């Protein structure tokens, strides 16, 4: 498991690995939104919680289609299936590596973009916490979608259709937490729900992804 | 322990490729799978690895694929058409990853690098290697993982004559140590004491017309009737 995790981290930072691309997408998409809406600080600060979460979701989604596809295309997936590490462990390790290389940097950069969208300073801490708590669920759910579409050529769009509806609870509670913080309301409840979603996905996601991979490989 | 296959049949894309195949591979056995294109050599190897569905019984000693797939699959290594090589990682990183995943020893890694002449390439990204070098890297995994059953699909494709000879030596050594090797090849691998298994003998379609006959719309009775009337 550790070997798979470290290999995926290494691959992400090598040529064509795609680490940083999600972050760049996140930066540019939020900048476009800020420029598109124009100089309307009140409107922007009202949009900020939802917009930050929606673009974080999309940025996370962008890199998902390569999660298992690359290993499928070069034959590695066959060998991972035969390896002593259970396939569930492989799916968990790959989800973890995906989260660390795509979603975690988004969470750390989010305050900069929050400032661009005129998000109140009081909400910045909650924004980072909510993203760090909630985005692992995105990678874990995404792994199920990636496993289901692994044999499909150009399955990126299908993957989005499968995965985005499942992202709804994370989006709702994530944006709710940031909005509550901006308005000075208690944030514990939505944050706790985000954490619960992530834990639930960590418990179920790898099994579902491994089952989908087994079906697709045979 | 032996690999025992009884009454196996495999289908691909809804078409039965072969039926009633039985074989027994005792320790030290080398079996060369033979047959025309489309006879099901690759499908049989994938079925033996548990990567493709099949009907019938496959077991290694007492461990049956149907009952305990994980324990069965831990006994074998499959080397298919694809080398499972990551172009962005160096040769050394590629092989070390598989060694670590399989708890291979450092000596096994060292000996695999030496036996497949990969030491000079160790720090080169695998993407810069030639097809033959990548194939050697893929095959080196066999030695790193130290598993008794090897399932090889055209292992010598794109290898030069010397590497192919070396590989035949590796296979012979594995058999001599009590391993089992089943390989699909079109060429003579040069392993002594091996036997051949002609898959077309088990073809679901009469061998005389070959497998293509079933696909020929002009031989379909329904088609003929339709056109006569």
Q: What is the pLDDT of residues A110-156, one digit of tens each?
A: 999 999 998 998 899 999 999 999 999 999 999 999 999 998 888 88
Helix pair angle (A124-148, A87-98), 10° resolution: 140
Residues in chain A closer than 8 A to B70 (CB atoms)? 86
Whether residue B71 is contained in a domain is answered as yes
Please, what is the Cα angle at A168 between A163 and A172, to 5 degrees? 155
pTM of the model: 0.86
Taking CA–CA distances from B127, the nearest residue in chain A reads: A15
pLDDT at residue B106, as a whole number: 83
Q: What is the CATH number of the domain that holds B24?
A: 3.40.50.300
Q: Are residues B163 and B70 in the same domain?
A: yes
Whether residue B214 is contained in a domain is answered as yes
Contact B74 A84 (CB under 8 A): yes
Q: Are residues B67 and B169 in the same domain?
A: yes
Question: Is the pLDDT at B38 greater than 90, yes or no?
Answer: no
Q: Are residues B131 and B197 in the same domain?
A: no
Q: In what order do the strands lie in the sheet with B15-25?
A: B15-25, B3-12, B55-60, B63-64
Distances (CA, A) of B194 to A170, B27, B47, B188: 59, 12, 21, 11
Domain that holds residue A39: 2-10+17-217
Whether residue B10 is contained in a domain is answered as yes
Computed over every residue of chain A, the mean pLDDT equals 90
Instruction: Pick from B11, B54, B75, B97 the residue to mutate for testing the A interface (most A CBs within 10 Å).
Output: B97
Contact A10 B84 (CB under 8 A): no
Whether residue B194 is contained in a domain is answered as yes
Q: Are residues B41 and B58 in the same domain?
A: yes
pLDDT at residue B227, as a whole number: 43
pLDDT at residue B111, as a whole number: 85
Question: Is the pLDDT at B91 greater than 80, yes or no?
Answer: yes
Question: How many domains would you assign to chain A?
Answer: 1
Alpha carbon distance B74, B125 (integer Å): 29
* Sequence-ordered list of residues with C-beta below 8 angstroms from that of B57, at least 6 positions apart, any chain: B4, B5, B6, B7, B8, B64, B66
Average pLDDT of the segment spanning B42-47: 88
Q: For A17, which of B82, B88, B101 is closest by C-beta distance?
A: B88
Whether residue B138 is contained in a domain is answered as yes
Q: Are residues B4 and B67 in the same domain?
A: yes
Q: Are residues B68 and B88 in the same domain?
A: no
Residue ranges of chain A whose CB lies within 8 Å of a chain B CB: 2-4, 7, 10-11, 14-17, 73-76, 78-86, 217-218
Please give the interface size between A and B, counted as residue pairs whose CB atoms are below 8 Å apart: 65
Q: Are residues B176 and B213 in the same domain?
A: yes
Most confident region among A80-94, B38-52, B62-76 by mean pLDDT: A80-94
Q: Are residues B16 and B64 in the same domain?
A: yes
Question: Is the pLDDT at B214 greater than 70, yes or no?
Answer: no
Instruction: Pick from A79, A81, A89, A94 the residue to mutate for testing the B interface (most B CBs within 10 Å).
Output: A79
Nearest chain B CA: its distance from A26 CA (Å): 25
Q: What is the pLDDT of residues B2-11, one digit of tens each?
A: 888 888 888 8
Q: Are residues B95 and B138 in the same domain?
A: yes
Nearest chain B CA: its distance from A134 CA (Å): 30
pLDDT at residue B212, as a whole number: 46
Taking CA–CA distances from B69, the nearest residue in chain A reads: A82
Whether residue B90 is contained in a domain is answered as yes
Domain that holds residue B15: 1-75+159-229
pLDDT at residue B205, as a whole number: 63
Most confident region among A2-11, A142-151, B214-223 by mean pLDDT: A142-151
Q: Are residues B166 and B224 in the same domain?
A: yes
Q: What is the pLDDT of residues B130-177, one digit of tens each?
A: 888 888 888 888 888 888 888 988 888 888 888 888 888 888 888 888
Instruction: Pick from B75, B101, B134, B144 the residue to mutate for testing the A interface (most A CBs within 10 Å).
Output: B101
Question: How many domains would you assign to chain B?
Answer: 2
Q: Are residues B130 and B185 in the same domain?
A: no
Question: Is the pLDDT at A41 greater than 60, yes or no?
Answer: yes
Average pLDDT of the segment spanning B66-77: 86
Whether residue B153 is contained in a domain is answered as no
Contact A74 B84 (CB under 8 A): yes
Beta pairing partners, B147: none
Taking CA–CA distances from A217, the nearest residue in chain B reads: B51
Nearest chain B CA: its distance from A203 CA (Å): 21
Q: Are residues B1 and B70 in the same domain?
A: yes
CA atoms within 13 A on the CB side of B184: 21
SS3 readout for chain B? CCEEEEEEEEEECCEEEEEEEEEEECCCCEEEEECCCCCCHHHHHHHHCCCCCCEEEEEECCEECCCCHHHHHCCEEEECCCCCCCCCCEHHHHHHHHHHHCCCCHHHHHHHHHHCCCHHHCCCEHHHCCHHHHHHHHHHHHHHHCCCEEEEECCCCCCCHHHHHHHHHHHHHHHHCCCEEEEECCCCCCCCCCEEEEHHHHECCCCCCCCHHHHCHHHCHHHHHHHHC
Question: Is the pLDDT at A17 greater than 70, yes or no?
Answer: no
Contact A130, A193 (CB under 8 A): no
Last-in-domain residue among B147, B174, B193: B147
């Amino acid at each position: 498991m550790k070997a798979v995790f470290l290999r995926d981290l290494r691959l992400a930072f090598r040529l064509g690995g795609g680490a940083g691309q999600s972050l760049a997408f996140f930066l540019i998409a939020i900048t476009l939104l800020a420029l598109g809406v124009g100089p309307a600080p009140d409107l922007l600060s009202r949009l900020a919680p939802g917009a930050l979460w929606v673009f974080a979701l999309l940025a996370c989604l962008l890199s998902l289609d390569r999660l298992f596809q690359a290993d499928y295309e070069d034959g590695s997936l066959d060998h991972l299936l035969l390896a002593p590490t259970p396939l569930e462990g492989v799916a968990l390790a790959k989800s973890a590596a995906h989260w660390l290389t795509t979603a975690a940097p988004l969470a750390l950069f989010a305050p900069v973009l929050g400032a661009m969208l005129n998000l109140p300073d009081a909400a910045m801490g909650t924004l980072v916490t909510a993203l760090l708590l909630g985005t692992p669920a995105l990678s874990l759910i995404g792994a199920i979608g990636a496993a289901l579409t692994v044999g499909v050529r150009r399955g990126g769009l299908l993957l989005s259709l499968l995965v985005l509806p499942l992202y709804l609870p994370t989006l709702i509670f994530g944006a709710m937490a940031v909005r509550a913080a901006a308005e000075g309301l208690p944030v514990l409840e939505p944050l706790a729900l985000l954490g619960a979603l992530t834990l639930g996905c960590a418990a179920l996601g790898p099994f579902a992804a491994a089952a989908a991979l087994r079906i697709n490989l045979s | 322990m032996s690999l025992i296959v009884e009454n196996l049949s495999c289908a691909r894309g809804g078409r039965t490729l072969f039926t009633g195949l039985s074989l027994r591979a005792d320790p030290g056995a080398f079996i060369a799978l033979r047959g025309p294109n489309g006879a099901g050599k690759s499908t049989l190897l994938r079925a033996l690895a548990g990567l493709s569905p099949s009907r019938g019984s496959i077991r290694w000693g007492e461990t049956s694929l149907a009952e305990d797939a994980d324990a069965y699959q831990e006994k074998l290594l499959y080397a298919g058409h694809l080398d499972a090589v990551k172009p962005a990682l160096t040769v050394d990183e590629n092989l070390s990853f598989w060694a670590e995943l399989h708890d291979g020893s450092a000596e096994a890694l060292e000996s695999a690098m030496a036996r497949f002449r990969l030491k000079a390439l160790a720090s080169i990204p695998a993407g810069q290697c030639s097809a033959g070098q990548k194939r050697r890297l893929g095959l080196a995994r066999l030695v790193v993982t130290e598993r008794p059953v090897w399932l090889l699909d055209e292992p010598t494709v794109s290898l030069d004559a010397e590497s192919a000879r070396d590989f035949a030596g590796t296979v012979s050594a594995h058999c001599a140590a009590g391993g089992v090797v089943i390989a699909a090849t079109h060429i003579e691998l040069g392993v002594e004491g091996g036997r051949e298994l002609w898959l077309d003998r088990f073809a679901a379609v009469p061998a005389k017309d070959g497998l293509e006959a079933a696909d020929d719309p002009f031989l379909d009775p329904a088609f003929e009737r339709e056109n006569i009337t």
